[in-house]
Amino acid sequence: MPGPGRHYRGNRKAANPSAASLSTVARESALALPDDSPVLAIFKDIALKLTARQDRHERLVKLSRDITIESKRIIFVLHSAMTKEANAKVLADANDRIQKLLNGPIKSIGIELEYSPAYLHLRAVTSGFQEFVEARTMFSIMATGQIITFPEVQKELEFVVTENDEQRKVVTMITDNDYMLGLADLTGELMRKAINSVSTGESEDCIQACQVVRDLYTGYLGITNNRHLLRKLTTTRTNVNKVEMAVYALRVRGSGPGLMAAGNPPAPDIDAPAGLSDDEGYY
Amino acid sequence: MCTNHVINSIFTEFQRNLDQEQDNREAIRNICKDISQVLREVTTILQVIHYNEDGIGPACVKARDLFEKAQEGYARLKEAVPDHEYFKYQEHWRSITQRYCFLIALTIWLETGILATHDTVAQILGISAVEKRCGFHLDIEDYLSGLLQLCSELARLAVNSVTRADYEKPTQISKFVMELNAGFRLLNLKNDHLRKRFDVLKYDVKKIEEVVYDLSIRGLLAAPDAAV
């Protein structure tokens, strides 16, 4: 290497005259580029591909956000069921909204990724899917008492698209990882549900929900070497503790509004759903 | 208890998939080890270009042979990666593939002085250049990353060719890299690894320009029209 310009920054001022000539050299070679050079043509083509990829990613992020927001609202609606009678109406409403979600943004994701590798854009859509799984499993557990399994969820994500009189099948791919992470979040919702049901006097619901949370926690304990799940495990553990404390209080102090809230001031009946925000840790 | 049964099956199923994934990764890792072995050989062989002009031709021939060997490895990799999951496992072969792109582009440049296209590189590796919903291919970002490595190597070559009194090569390199530089400027790069790698390019360009500049002020360049 020749001397001048070796320490780029330090010598910039001092080497000014030579820098001028240097840039002349640079400019000359830049100007020598023909407009129709094959290399530039190649890069123009690549630029199109990269931009298409980025745009697709952005669109997916948007869709994913839509799914997240709507799923959170569905969960909120599911929490609003206070009595057995209100339950049916709430479930119908939630079901409607889930169907709309499926045929709206979730289907759009499937169409968006129809010809592209899904794993490339996994990060764009994962949060939306997790939230959706949370809402969907919560709905299933309230409607049927069972948690909908991964293959069943995946099956709901198959759509038939009609275009130019031709029908074709479009599948929105969701990973089992997303499903499991959504299920981990479900424990938080069930915990809230259980505690709410204490305050509305449905002690049976509370004990059931408690058992489901326990079962899920047991399952997560058995999963090895998955770092995403490990991170959620602590939250799940907290949820188990909270729900078990609630059931304990129920047993020891007898069921009744306000009684379970160990350290809290006696709460009126209806404080539960209205006071709860999106915040998972609310107790 | 019936929920329990469903939950149980959910978790056993998931654990089974996890184990399957582990097995896949293990198999992929082993293949990548073989591929990178060949990669090291090619890298070593092509180092000759920095100190022995006459060695360049034979080195390219040898490199070409080894690329065929790499092709076998990639064929095995193609088998081992589940159809839809190229990008799930990509990290395993990503840097290896980038390096291959670099070495292939370098070989082709040494042979012909032109830029190896995405298609050509993919063809030499025996894989597809087209990104589809499923299947193995050469990711465009890996290809670009390889080209950026090529620029760094050529910057070094420009210096070393002057050392062995080859005053034409730097001009040729300068023209080539300037063209690539102009090309990369057309790309709308996100703030990712490719972008970081691209930021190095300007130093390579600068290094080459300095060599050409030194040659020009010492009158060591060939007549201007011959240099073009």
B192 lies in the same domain as B158: yes
DSSP annotation string for A200-249: TT-HHHHHHHHHHHHHHHHHHHH--S-HHHHHHHHHHHHHHHHHHHHHHH
Cβ contact (<8 Å) for A119 and B87? yes
B79 in a domain, yes or no? Answer: yes
Answer whether B182 sits within 8 Å of A33, measured CB to CB.
Answer: yes
pLDDT band at A228 (very low <50, low <70, confident <90, very high): confident
Task: Check CB contact under 8 Å for A40 and B183.
Answer: yes
% of chain B at pLDDT higher than 70: 96
Fold match flag (A39-174 vs A179-283): yes
The residue of chain A with its CA nearest to that of B3 is A146
- Of residues B211, B204, B98, B101, the one with CA closest to residue B152: B204
DSSP annotation of B137 reads B
* pLDDT surpassing 90 at residue A36: no
φ and ψ at residue B186, rounded to 5 degrees: -75, -20
Give the closest residue to B140 by CA, choosing from B148, B129, B149, B152.
B129
**A168 contacts: CB under 8 Å, gap ≥ 6:** A160, A161
CA distance A93 to A87: 10
Contacts of B3 in chain A (CB under 8 A): 141, 145-147, 211-212, 215
- Same domain for B104 and B2, yes or no, is yes
The reply to whether residue B206 touches residue A113, judged by beta carbons under 8 angstroms, is no
Note the CATH architecture for domain A39-174: Up-down Bundle (1.20)
Alpha-carbon gap: A264 to the closest alpha carbon of chain B (Å): 32
Residue A30 pLDDT class (50, 70, 90 cuts): low
Nearest CB among B9, B187, B214 relative to A50 is that of B187
What percent of chain A has pLDDT above 70?
77
Q: Are B213 and A119 an interchain contact pair (Cβ–Cβ within 8 Å)? A: no
Does A39 sit within 8 Å of B175, measured CB to CB?
Answer: no
Mean pLDDT, residues A126-130 taken together:
94
List of chain A residues whose C-beta atoms are within 8 Å of the C-beta of residue B6: 146-147, 149
- When divided into structural domains, chain B yields a total of 2
CA B186-B189-B194 angle, to 5 degrees, is 115
Do B19 and B104 lie in a common domain? yes
Contact B227, B193 (CB under 8 A): no
Residue B160 sits in which domain range?
139-228
How confident is the prediction for chain B on average, in pLDDT?
Answer: 90
Chain mean position to CA B193? 14
Residues from chain A contacting residue B22 (CB–CB below 8 Å)? 225
Look at residue B100 and tell me if it is in a domain.
Answer: yes
Nearest CA-CA distance, residue A180 and chain B, Å: 8
Model pLDDT, residue A254: 66
Rounded to whole angstroms, the Cα distance separating A273 from A277 reads: 8
pLDDT at A152 over 70: yes
Whether B77 and B146 share a structural domain = no
Q: What pLDDT is attached to residue A148?
A: 92
- The reply to whether B156 and B96 lie within a common domain is no
- The pLDDT value given to residue A225: 73
Closest residue in B to A116 (Cα–Cα): B133
State residue B220's pLDDT score.
81
User: What pLDDT is recorded for position A21?
Assistant: 59
List the single residue in B187, B203, B213 with the smallest CB-CB distance to A25: B213
Contact A1, B210 (CB under 8 A): yes
Task: Tell me the pLDDT tens digit for each residue of A75-104.
Answer: 999 988 777 778 888 999 999 999 999 999
- What tens digit of pLDDT does each residue of B82-122 get? 988 999 999 999 999 999 999 999 999 999 999 999 999 99
pLDDT at A180 over 60: yes
pLDDT in tens, B119-158: 999 999 999 999 888 889 999 999 999 999 999 999 999 9
Q: How many CB pairs under 8 A join A and B?
A: 151
R_g of chain A, CA atoms, integer Å = 28
Model confidence at A256: pLDDT above 80: no
The interface predicted TM-score of the complex, written ipTM, equals: 0.86
Residues B144 and B212 in one domain: yes
How far, in Å, are A59, A65, A66, A182 from residue A128 at the CA level? 13, 6, 8, 10
Query: In this structure, what CATH number is given to the domain that contains residue B38?
Result: 1.20.58.190
pLDDT value of residue A199: 77
CA–CA separation, A106 and A117 (whole Å): 16
* Residue whose tokens read 């709460």: A267
Flag the least confident range among A98-102, A209-213, A220-224: A220-224
**Does residue B110 sit in the same domain as residue B143?**
no
B123 located within any domain:
no
Query: Which residues of chain B lie closer than 8 angstroms to A212, CB-CB?
Result: 3, 7
Contact call for residues B174 and B212 (beta carbons, < 8 A): yes
pLDDT at A9 over 60: no
User: Do A43 and B132 count as a contact with CB atoms less than 8 A apart?
Assistant: no
Determine the length of chain A.
283
Distance CA(A256)–CA(A195), nearest Å, equals 12
- pLDDT above 60 (res A280): no
Which of B98, B121, B118 shows the shortest CA–CA distance to B194? B98
Type and span of the H or E element at A168: strand A166-171
| Single residue among B97, B114, B131 that ends a domain in this structure | B114
Query: Is B129 inside any structural domain?
Result: no
Could you list the residues of B known to form a binding site, using ranges.
153
Instruction: Give the pLDDT confidence score for residue A127 in this predicted structure.
Output: 94
Q: What CATH number does the domain located at A179-283 have?
A: 1.20.58.200
- Mean pLDDT value of segment A106-130: 91
Write the CATH number for B180. 1.20.58.200
B131 in a domain, yes or no?
no
Q: Which of A128, A234, A133, A263 is nearest to A189 (CA)?
A: A133
**Alpha carbons A89 and A85: distance in angstroms, whole number:** 8
Binding site residues of B for Mg(2+), as ranges? 153
Q: Could you tell me the residue ranges of all domains in chain A?
A: 39-174, 179-283
How many beta carbons lie within 10 A of that of residue A57, not counting itself?
18
Contact B144 A46 (CB under 8 A): yes
| Same-domain status, B147 and B75 | no
